[in-house]
Structure 1
Amino acid sequence: MTAFRGNAAPLSSSGFRRTMVALATDPASLWALITVETSGFGYLPDRRPKILFERHVFHRRTGGKYGSTHADISAPAPGGYLGDADEYTRLERALALDRQAALDSTSWGLGQVMGFHAASLGYPGTEAMVTGFLEDEDAQLEAVQRFIGAHAALRQALRRQDWTRVAFFYNGASYAQHGYHRKLEHYHDLYAIKGTPDIAVRTAQAWLTYLGYAPRGVDGILGPATGAAVVAFQKAQGLPVTADLDDASLERLRLAAAAAAGRSGA
C-alpha cells in the first residue's frame, strides 16, 4: 500500500443495497450507523481512510513493552487522540515499532472496524483488509456487514432498532459514556422522517472534496455549501454556472477526480 492512499471511490448504490439486504435492515438504520461512526464518510480529503489509533489496544497487543518509552501511543487506558489526519502521525510511529500490532490497533474506514478483527471476518489478514479499504467505500461497508453478520445479537438488535444493544455490541461497554445509543436513535429518526442521503449527491461531494472545493461535508444533501462548491468548480472548468449537479458537471467532476487520483499516485 502507498501511504494508505488508493482510489478512494465513494459508496455506490449497489454496495449500500447489498449490505442492507444482507443484514435485513432498513436504509435509515444503516445510514445512522455510518453517520455516527464517521460522520457519514469513510475518507479524509487526501483520500486516506478515516482512522482512529487505539493506544490501549497497541499496549495490550505488544505486551506493554513500549509503555515507558512511548506512553502517548502505548498505554493501558484509551486516549491521546489527535483526530482526522493527525491520527496517521500516531499510527506511523506505532508502525515503526510493530507494524502488525499497529495495524491491528487501528479502527478503519466507514464503519471504524478494528484491524484485529480482520482474520475473524474472513480476510487473509489486516493488510489485506486495509488494502481493500483504500479502494472504495463499498469494501469498507462490506466489512461492517461481515462484522454485524458475525454477531447474532448485534444483527438482531439492528433489525429491531434497539439502539442501546446496538451501541453495546458495536461500540463496547463504554457506549453510554459517549452517548452512542442516543446518537444512533437520533440519526435513525432523522433519516426516517427527512429521508436518507442521496448517494449521487454524496459522490459529487466526495469528488469536490478531493479536488479542494469544500462542500463542508459528504452528507448526500445538496445544501448551500455544496451549491457554492459546485459553482466554484463550474467556473474553474468553464461550464455554465447553474449550482446544479447536471450531467455535464458530474461527468467533468468524475474525470477531474480521477485525474487527480492519478497525479497523487493513488
Structure 2
Amino acid sequence: MTTLRYGDRSQAVRVLQKNLNSYGAKLIIDGDFGDVTEAAVRAYQLKVGLVADGIAGSKTQTMLAGNDCQQLLKNVDLVNAAQRLDVPLASVYAVNEVESKGKGFLDNGKPVILFERHIMYRQLSKVRQEGDDPAELKHHADQLAAINPAIVNPKAGGYAGGTAEHQRLATARLIDNTAALESASWGAFQIMGFHWKRLGYASVQDFVTAMSASESQQFDAFVRFIETDPTLYKALKARKWAEFAKLYNGPDYQRNLYDIKLQRAFERHADCDCGQAVAA
C-alpha cells in the first residue's frame, strides 16, 4: 500500500479523496494532495483516534476501508507523551514520524522484530548469578557459535527479515529463552529486549508481552527509553535534532538525514492543533 502525502498527484489520491468524502469531507476529487486534502486527512485521523499526522499511510487507508485497527498507535498516546515529557506535541510527532518503522506488527499479527545474533552471543556470556564462571560462560557461547553461527555469533548479521526473524528467535529460545528475548529488537521503535530492566519492566518476558499487545505499548517503551536516557531526553527538550539523531540512530545518522527529517517534521507539525482537538 503506497503512502500518500502532501505534494502527491495520482489516481491513488483520487481514491483517497473519494473515501474521505464518504466520511464527511467535501473534497474536490482532483488527485492533488494539497493543503485541503492534508487537512481532511488530519480531521479524519483525529475523528477515529489515529495519529493525526496528515499522512495517509497504510494505517489510515486500512481504517478508511473499515478494517479493525485496535492494535494501532492512537493520537492520544502522542498527546499524553508530550505532556509526560514536557515537550511540544510537534516534537513527539516528529520523533514518531522519523524514528518509527511505520508498523509495529506483521500481517500475521506478530510484533515486528529483528534478532541480533551478536547480542545473543553477548547475553549468553553474561554473568547473571553469583557463582557464574565468566570463562565457562564464554566457552559455552563459543561452542554454540561454532554449532549454530546463524543464531549465536560474535559478529552481527544473518538477518532474514519479516516473519523469518521469528523463526530465528524461536530457535534461539530453545537455547536460552531469556537471552533470546533480550537479543531481539521489538516493535515499531525497535527497542532491544535487554533494556527491559532500565525501562521498568518486571522481566524481559513482561516486556515482550507488552510489545506483543499494541503499538501503544510499543510507543510507551519508546517514551520510557527517552525518559531513562538523560542525554537523549535533554537533546529532545532542547530540540537539538542532530544530537538526538546521533544518540538514537548512531554515528551514521547524517547519511540518512535523520536530523534534517526531524527538523522538517517538527516544523510541519508545529501549527497543528491535534492535541487540543483530542483534549477538548
TM-score where L is the length of structure 2 = 0.60
* Alignment correspondent of 1:183: 258
**Retained in 1: the 8 A contact 2:245–2:253?**
no
Shift of the alpha carbon at 1:116?
A: 0.9
Shift of the alpha carbon at 1:56?
A: 1.0
> What do residues 105-148 of structure 1 show as CA deviations (whole Å, max 9, x unaligned)?
11111221111111121111011111112222111111111111
Q: Residues 1-266 of structure 1: matches in 2 within 5 Å?
A: 9-63=71-125, 64-65=141-142, 66-171=144-249, 175-177=250-252, 179=254, 182-190=257-265, 192-193=267-268
Distance 1:96 1:69, change over 3 A: same
Distance 1:77 1:140, change over 3 A: same
Q: State percent identity of aligned pairs.
A: 31
Distance 1:23 1:179, change over 3 A: same
- Structure-1 separation of matches of 2:191 and 2:255: 16
Report the 3-state secondary structure (helix = DSSP H, G, I; strand = E; otherwise coil) of the residue aligned with 1:76. Answer: coil
**Retained in 1: the 8 A contact 2:245–2:258?**
no
* Alignment correspondent of 2:57: none
- Could you tell me which amino acid in structure 2 is paired with residue 185 of structure 1? I
- Structure-1 separation of matches of 2:153 and 2:253: 20
- Structure-1 separation of matches of 2:158 and 2:178: 20
- Structure-2 separation of matches of 1:60 and 1:132: 24
Distance 1:184 1:89, change over 3 A: farther
Shift of the alpha carbon at 1:11?
A: 1.1
* Alignment correspondent of 1:228: none
Distance 1:28 1:86, change over 3 A: farther
Distance 1:16 1:190, change over 3 A: closer
Rg (Cα) greater in structure: 2
Shift of the alpha carbon at 1:188?
A: 4.0
Distance 1:193 1:22, change over 3 A: same
Report the 3-state secondary structure (helix = DSSP H, G, I; strand = E; otherwise coil) of the residue aligned with 1:52. Answer: strand
**Retained in 2: the 8 A contact 1:10–1:138?**
yes
Report the 3-state secondary structure (helix = DSSP H, G, I; strand = E; otherwise coil) of the residue aligned with 2:257. Answer: helix
Distance 1:77 1:31, change over 3 A: farther
- Could you tell me which amino acid in structure 1 is paired with residue 186 of structure 2? W
Greater Cα offset, 155-164 or 117-126: 155-164
TM-score where L is the length of structure 1 = 0.63
- Structure-2 separation of matches of 1:142 and 1:46: 22
Which gives a bigger RCO, structure 1 or 2 (Cα 8 Å, sep 6+)? 1
**Retained in 1: the 8 A contact 2:253–2:259?**
no
- Structure-2 separation of matches of 1:8 and 1:43: 12
Distance 1:109 1:126, change over 3 A: same
* Alignment correspondent of 1:219: none
**Retained in 2: the 8 A contact 1:163–1:181?**
no
Specify every segment of 5 or more residues in structure 2 that has no aligned partner in the other structure, as ranges: 1-68, 126-140, 275-280
- Structure-1 separation of matches of 2:95 and 2:243: 13
Greater Cα offset, 182-191 or 134-143: 182-191
Distance 1:127 1:111, change over 3 A: same
- Could you tell me which amino acid in structure 1 is paired with residue 82 of structure 2? M
CA RMSD after TM alignment = 2.7
